[in-house]
Amino acid sequence: MTEPTRPRRSGLRGFGHDGPSPWTDLDRPPLDGARLARDLVVPGGFWTAVDVVDETGSTNTDLAARAGAGEAEGAVLVAEAQNAGRGRLERVWSAPARSGLFLSVLLRPADVPMERYGWLPILVGVAAASTLGRVAEVEIGLKWPNDLLVTVDGVERKVGGILTELSAGAVVAGLGVNVSLRESELPVPAAASLVLAGAGVADRETLLRALLREFAELYQEWVAAAGDPYASGLLPAYTARCTTLGRSVRVQLPGERELLGEAVAVDGLGRLVVRTADGQRHPVAAGDVVHVRPDQG
């Protein structure tokens, strides 16, 4: 049996001790976990723990284990590097150490009906797009259901992704954002980073602190509205940033089925509504979709 990956807590390590110093690449300084916890874990605040580790397999997997052990809502786990990061449908997410924000948060929305939990990845996306647009000064589009997009040289490219999972009655919401990846480091040509998109601010601590504060505010408003996407303002906030809407799309479904049409709406259940050539409207849920791509005709 393979021994599970053990997360290593972040700290300053000198040369010759447990690998190279995280300060070797001065463009990618390590996060100060103690300072982040001091700033974000405050009396009466939403966040209950903020932990930064040097490396782990997957922050979602680690935080899910903590959820099973009874960890309170509001825990945050951030990794400087992930060696088994996962996206939707078990797609692999990889990036150099300290080149981005790789984190998961633990949520227990007890006052929200479970059928509305599907709005959580959308909520994460809205918080990320709002924060990065304001702080990093980069316009972020949201591709349904869970991708963050930027425009580089006139072409839309993926800068981040979201993965939410149910675990032990809780929800673990993971977010990965490429911050400083260089063109030569991109895993695929369709990827990008905030720096490549011309970010005015790319300091990861500044971005993370702002992102967590924005998410906590939006999440608490959503919970107070019992997860109602209209009463909480989440649906209009999402549709205003959703780049999928108004476009011709090709939706790949399981079993090699396809749905072609125009993406006309996101409904009250968070499903994408596609209008086909015959005028019929077809709602599709994120869990039923393999890919949503622009239809090139």
Domain for residue 141, yes or no?
yes
Asked whether residue 76 is domain-assigned, the answer is yes
75 in a domain, yes or no? yes
Closest CA to 128 of 29, 273, 20, 238: 238
> Tens of pLDDT along 219-275?
999 999 999 999 999 999 999 999 999 999 999 988 888 999 999 999 999 999 999
Q: Is 2 part of a structural domain of the chain?
A: no
For 40-92, how does the pLDDT look when each residue is reduced to its tens digit (9 = 90+)?
999 999 999 999 999 999 999 999 999 999 999 999 999 999 986 555 445 55
Verify that 213 and 98 share a domain, yes or no.
Answer: yes
Close Cβ partners of 96 (under 8 Å, ≥ 6 residues apart) = 28, 81, 181, 185
- The domain spanning residue 173 has which CATH number? 3.30.930.10
What tokens appear for 150 in the block? 């930027």
Q: Are residues 177 and 254 in the same domain?
A: no
Number of domains comprising the chain? 2
Question: CA 32 to CA 12: how far, in whole Å?
Answer: 9
The more confidently predicted of residues 254 and 96 is: 96
Which residue segment(s) compose the domain that 254 sits in?
A: 248-294
Task: Find, among 80, 66, 68, 74, the residue nearest to 49 by Cα.
Answer: 74
Same domain for 29 and 79, yes or no, is yes
Instruction: Report if residue 143 sits inside a domain.
Output: yes
Considering the chain, what percentage of its residues have pLDDT values greater than 90? 78
Asked whether residue 3 is assigned to any structural domain, the reply reads: no
Assess whether pLDDT exceeds 60 at residue 24.
no
Q: Are 232 and 219 contacting, i.e. CB atoms less than 8 angstroms apart?
A: no
Residue 43, C-beta contacts closer than 8 angstroms, at least 6 positions apart: none
Residue with more model confidence, 16 or 283: 283
Identify whether residues 43 and 161 lie together within a single domain. yes
Instruction: Please name which of 76, 54, 79, 52 lies closest in space to residue 63, comparing C-alpha atoms.
Output: 76
